[in-house]
Amino acid sequence: MFDFDDLSQAIARQTVLCVGDLMLDEFVYGEVSRISPEAPAPVIAVQRSEINIGGAGNVARNIAALGARCIFVGLVGDDAAAAQLEAELAREPGIETVLVRDASRPTTRKVRFVSEHFSAHMLRADWERAAPASGEIEQRLIDAIVPRLARADIVLLSDYAKGVLTARVLRNVIDAARRAGKRVIVDPKSANLAIYRGASVLTPNRKEFSEATRSRAETEQEIAAAAQDAIYLADCEAILVTQSERGMTLVPRQGDAIHVPAYPVKVRDVSGAGDTVVAVLAATLAAGAGWEEALRMASAAAAVAVSKQGTASVTSAELRRKILPHAYRAAEEKIIAGDGEILARVEGWRSEGLRVGFTNGCFDILHPGHVKVLTAARAACDRLVVGLNSDASVKRLKGESRPVQDERARAEVLAALEAVDLVAIFTEDTPLRLIELVRPSVLVKGGDYTREQVVGHEVVEAGGGEVILIDILKGHSTTALVDRARSDGR
C-alpha cells in the first residue's frame, strides 16, 4: 500500500491549470406527489434547491478540495448566471479564477429535478449554446491560458463540448504545455481523438471510448486492444477508460494494462463523478504518483462522489477515510478526548436509534480476558464506548510502577479492535463523570464485580438502562503478566 499521507502532502504542493466548459448546476429536490392530467407526467412537490459550480468548475473545486492549488480558466456569457458563478468561485479557497466573457452566448445552465426520496433524476432543463467560440474569443482564451502555464505543475483540460476547447485552443495549449515540459490530462468529449494529439492522458468513459474507437469495449482485453490504435492516433502516454461500476482500465503506451475495480458503494447521484476522477488523477500524477497509485486514488474518490447528492467535490479527509484500511485510521477516528466531541458522537448514534454501551478499565497490557469482555460488551449494544484511565489515574490506582504503556499506546491498541467504537480517556479515579455524560443503555463489567460495585450503575439504571456482568476468563491478569515479565527480566 502506498503512503497516503505522504502523497496527500505532495498534492498540497502542486498547482493544476484547469481549463474547460463552466456551467451552473441547479438541483431542485422534492417528492412526486401525483400525476399531472395534462401531460400526463409526474408532479414534483418542491422541498429545497441547491446551486453548484458545474462542468470544469467542478473539476477545479475537486482539485482545491484535495488541498492543491488550481488556476481555472473558463468561458461565460454576460448574464445573471455568469455573475452567480463568478461569486461562487470567488468563495472557493484555493482557486484562482480567470473568466472570459462572451456576450453572444448564454452561460451554460442546467437545472435538474430530483426525487428526494429515491435520488432519481426526473427531468433536466438546459440553457446553453453548444457551439465553438468565435475567433476573437478563442484568442482571448489562449491569451489567458498560455502565460499561466509557467506556474502550473500539470494541465487539465475538461471538455464538455460547449465551445471552450476548440481545435485551435487545444492545439495552442497542448503544444505550449509540451514545450514547457508539462503533462496534459484531457477529459475528452469529441470522438475524434486526434484533436487532442500530444496530450499525456485521455480519460474517456466507456461509451465515449467505444464510439471513438468503433469497438465493443466490453472487456479489459477489448479495451486494451482498441486503445493501442487510439494511443498512436492521439500520440499520448496512456488512455484511461472509466466504466462506472466496472471500475477503470488504464492502457499505457508501453507495458500492461492496469485495471482497478470500483468500490462497492450505494450510489445516490453520479452527477460530476467524472470531474472528481480527472481532478484526482491530475493532482496525484502531478505529485509524482505512479499509474496504479493514481488510479486507486481516483477510484476511491469516485466512490465518495457518487455517494453524495448533487455535483459533489471530495476532500482529502474523505478520500483518506475511503482508501485506508480501517485499522490504519482507527486511532484518529476513535480516540476522542473532549466532552463536546464525545457527546456529539454519542448523540449522533442515539438519533439513529442505536443502542450505546459502555465499559471501562486500565487495559495496560491487553490480554484474552480483556478481549472477552470487550467483545461481549459490543454484542450487547450497537456502539461501544470504552472509558480508559489516564496515566495519572492508573498510577494512583495501581502504584508508581504502572502503567507499563502510556495512555496513547493503550488507546491505540483498543481503537484497533473491531469491537470498540470510541475510546474516551478520563483523568478521574472512576469513570462516573464519563458515564453521566454518555448515559449508556448498557453498562458492562467483568464478573469479578457485583452489580452494586459497578461504578455508575445507579445512573444507568435510573435512565432505564441495564448493567451486564461478563464472566471473567480465568488465568489472565495484567498484574500477573507484569509481575511475571519483571521476574523473568531479573
Q: Is the pLDDT of residue 479 over 60?
A: no
Check residues 34 and 485 and name the one with the higher pLDDT. 34
Task: Supply 139's cell numbers.
Answer: 484568442
Q: Is the pLDDT of residue 327 over 60?
A: no
What is d(CA 435, CA 430) in angstroms, rounded to the nearest whole number?
Answer: 10
> Quick one: average pLDDT of 182-203?
97
100 secondary structure, DSSP code: E
> Quick one: average pLDDT of 364-379?
86
Q: Where are the alpha helices (DSSP H) in 164-310?
A: 167-179, 206-213, 220-234, 273-286, 291-306
- Within 13 Å and on the Cβ side, how many CA atoms surround 164? 31
In percent, the amount of the chain with pLDDT more than 90 equals 65
Q: Is 205 annotated as a binding residue?
A: yes
> Quick one: average pLDDT of 54-70?
96
Phi and psi at residue 144, in whole multiples of 5°? -80, -30
Q: Is the pLDDT of residue 480 over 70?
A: no
> What pLDDT, in 10s, does the model give residues 343-353?
999 998 998 88
> Quick one: average pLDDT of 52-80?
96
Q: Is the pLDDT of residue 165 over 90?
A: yes
What is d(CA 201, CA 66) in angstroms, rounded to the nearest whole number?
Answer: 20
- Burial class, 291, CB count within 10 angstroms (exposed 0-12 / middle 13-18 / buried 19+): buried
What is d(CA 232, CA 238) in angstroms, rounded to the nearest whole number?
Answer: 10
> What pLDDT, in 10s, does the model give residues 204-227?
999 999 999 999 888 889 999 999
Domains located in the chain, CATH noted = 2-322 (3.40.1190.20), 327-486 (3.40.50.620)
- Within 13 Å and on the Cβ side, how many CA atoms surround 96? 12
What is d(CA 441, CA 443) in angstroms, rounded to the nearest whole number?
Answer: 7
pLDDT band at 325 (very low <50, low <70, confident <90, very high): low
Q: Is 136 annotated as a binding residue?
A: no
Strands 238-242, 335-336: pairing is unpaired
In percent, the amount of the chain with pLDDT more than 70 equals 94
> Quick one: average pLDDT of 386-397?
94
pLDDT band at 326 (very low <50, low <70, confident <90, very high): low
* pTM exceeds 0.75 for this model: no
Q: Are 154 and 16 in contact (CB under 8 A)?
A: yes
> Quick one: average pLDDT of 124-153?
96
Task: Classify the C-alpha dihedral 260-206-213-174 as positive or negative.
Answer: negative
**Terminal-to-terminal C-alpha distance of the chain:** 41
Q: Is the pLDDT of residue 106 over 70?
A: yes
Q: Is 451 annotated as a binding residue?
A: no
> Quick one: average pLDDT of 225-234?
94
Task: Supply 252's cell numbers.
Answer: 499505457
Q: Is the pLDDT of residue 475 over 70?
A: no
The reported pLDDT for the residue numbered 272 is: 78
Q: Is the pLDDT of residue 442 over 80?
A: yes
The reported pLDDT for the residue numbered 187 is: 97
Exactly one of 153, 269, 275, 421 is catalytic; which is it? Answer: 275
> Which are the contacts of 251, defined by CB distance < 8 A and separation ≥ 6?
223, 224, 227, 228, 231, 238, 239, 240, 241, 257
Task: Classify the C-alpha dihedral 223-228-232-236 as positive or negative.
Answer: positive
> Quick one: average pLDDT of 154-171?
97
Q: Is the pLDDT of residue 489 over 80?
A: no
Q: Is the pLDDT of residue 486 over 70?
A: no
429 is annotated as an active-site residue: no
pLDDT band at 239 (very low <50, low <70, confident <90, very high): very high
> Quick one: average pLDDT of 255-266?
88
The closest alpha carbon to 385, from 447, 428, 436, belongs to 436
Does an H or E element contain 371, and which? helix 368-379
Q: Is 407 annotated as a binding residue?
A: no
Task: Supply 291's cell numbers.
Answer: 499509474
The reported pLDDT for the residue numbered 487 is: 63
Query: Can you say whether residue 326 is alpha, beta or left, with left for phi > 0 and alpha for psi between -120 and 50 degrees?
Result: alpha
Check residues 348 and 60 and name the one with the higher pLDDT. 60
pLDDT band at 196 (very low <50, low <70, confident <90, very high): very high
